[in-house]
Amino acid sequence: MTTRHHSLAKNKIKFLMLEGIHAKGLDEIRRSGYEWIVSEAQAPPPGRLAEMIEDVHFLGIRSRTQLTADLLDRARKLTAIGCFCIGTDQVDLSEARRRGIPVFNAPYANTRSVAELVLAEIILLLRGIPARNAGAHRGQWLKSARGSHEVRGKTLGILGYGHIGSQLGILAEGLGMRVIYFDIVAKLPLGNAEPRTRMESVLEEADVVSIHVPDTERTRNMIDNKALGRMKPGAHLINAARGRIVDIPALAAALRAERLGGAAIDVFPVEPKGADDAFESELRGMDKVLLTPHIGGSTEEAQQNIALDVATKLVRYSDNGSTMGAVNFPEVSLPDHASARRIMHIHRNEPGVLQAVNSVISKASINIAAQYLQTLPDVGYVVMDLETEDAPALVRELDAIPATIRTRFLY
Ligand code: NAI
């Protein structure tokens, strides 16, 4: 593998931003002193992309651009990739790491959007709005207070008290709800929320259960027939997390049997690939179910937050070497670099590499002001602040260490 390094002036660093990345992201990069930004509204076809990325240092994509090992080979100057979205499946992450390229995304930029939608759904479900709305569309006038409730004083049960779950809890308390939650990790309760040590307790006590866990082996079909059977008669279920967490046939059966009062479902085990693909689900046609097309996190504000978040991470990596928030790379959090030269060395994680790096430096009688190292099983990343006037000579020597993937330095 070839080694690559750069210490380019900011106006020589090229950003290629594809798929119509929000202007907020481009503004942030420009504001940080980078002028060479090429942006395109579409995802180019692979052949054209291969040509476009040959001289690019930073690449911004969304979910439609597939970055394979072959394409990465063509991108000989590529320093980092920003996925301006939540998912990173479109990038071959380990191949990027092997080439010394960190990949950044924005996993939590749409937290608020999801929490707000769920909050609205809680109110709509407790008022029986889905069925009344469906009835009115058919000319029915279902005017009755029966089965309609205020949310004040009701119990919200949250499964998964992470970014979304905990924010939802705070918002729901603002409406006067009592909040209980279950998480597999001990989480500090916010506001007056109360933790439960078993998921079953949440299911048994809550008037509304809302799911905010990730899609893992353990959470697959976590809400099955048995779990649904534990919920209070007439309780409601909300899933805006991932489709495979709820057993949909079991949910449909519980709703038909009127064991549950209603449900709001945003994510499904199988979702249409695009607007031309029909949405199929056993829940279609059930008046008590609020169905939404996986739009929990889809707002203009979330798009802006995503753009700003990922652009900031790319700029920090370029300016300072920090890899915090990288999904495929050793994470090193760094103070701003001051008077010393900062040298960043990415290497295959083999025994003796750090020793080889340090011996190059000590042979040159250079003082190490600070050194930060993180490793993953295959790749290590060491950042050093060095008191030297001749960084290029040192970089040449570091490049000569056989395990070196890439060396970069900042003034
Ligand atoms: P997070 O990682 O901040 O929180 C997840 C929490 O679930 C963590 O506290 C974790 O410890 C807990 N957890 C994991 N396994 C568990 C289990 N078996 N039982 C109980 N707790 C468990 O994630 P965040 O950002 O809050 O997202 C939550 C879910 O929302 C994810 O599935 C995510 O994919 C989904 N999501 C959906 C969106 C949509 O458009 N509908 C948009 C954004 C996120």
CATH of 111-291, one of 3.90.245.10, 3.40.1180.10, 3.40.50.720, 2.60.40.10: 3.40.50.720
Say yes or no: do domains 1-109+299-329 and 330-411 share a fold.
no
The CATH label, of 3.40.50.12780, 3.40.1080.10, 2.102.10.10, 3.30.70.260, for the domain at 330-411 is 3.30.70.260
Buried b (16+ CB within 10 A) or exposed e, 55-78: ebbbbbbbeebebeeebbeebeeb
Q: What residues does 155 pair with on adjacent strands?
A: 178
Please give the number of the atom of ligand 1 that sits closest to the Cα of 213.
7
| Whole-number Å distance between alpha carbons of 67 and 400 | 29
Q: Which of 6, 30, 294, 396 is catalytic?
A: 294
**Active-site residue 294, yes or no?**
yes
Cα separation, 86 vs 17, in Å, equals 16
Decide if 212 is catalytic. Answer: no
Closest-CA residue, ligand 1 atom 9, reads 162
The three-class DSSP label of residue 355 is helix
396 is catalytic: no
What does the alpha-carbon distance between residue 49 and residue 74 come to, in Å, rounded to a whole number? 10
Strand partners, 169: none
Q: What is the fold, at CATH topology level, of the domain defined by 1-109+299-329?
A: Rossmann fold (3.40.50)
How would you label 198-213 residue by residue, b for 16+ Cβ within 10 Å and e otherwise? ebebbbebbbbbbbbb
pLDDT in tens, the chain (411 residues): 444 445 678 889 999 999 999 999 999 999 999 999 999 999 999 899 999 999 999 999 998 999 999 999 999 999 999 999 988 999 999 999 999 999 999 999 999 999 999 999 999 999 999 999 999 999 999 999 999 999 999 999 999 999 999 999 999 999 999 999 999 999 999 999 999 999 999 999 999 999 999 999 999 999 999 999 999 999 999 999 999 999 999 999 999 999 999 999 999 999 998 788 999 999 999 999 999 999 999 999 999 999 999 999 999 999 999 999 999 999 998 887 667 789 999 999 999 999 999 999 999 888 888 899 999 999 999 999 988 888 888 899 999 999 999 999 886
CA of 294 to the centre of ligand 1 (A): 15
Sequence spans of domains, the chain: 1-109+299-329, 111-291, 330-411
Of 122, 87, 120, nearest to 105 (Cα)? 87
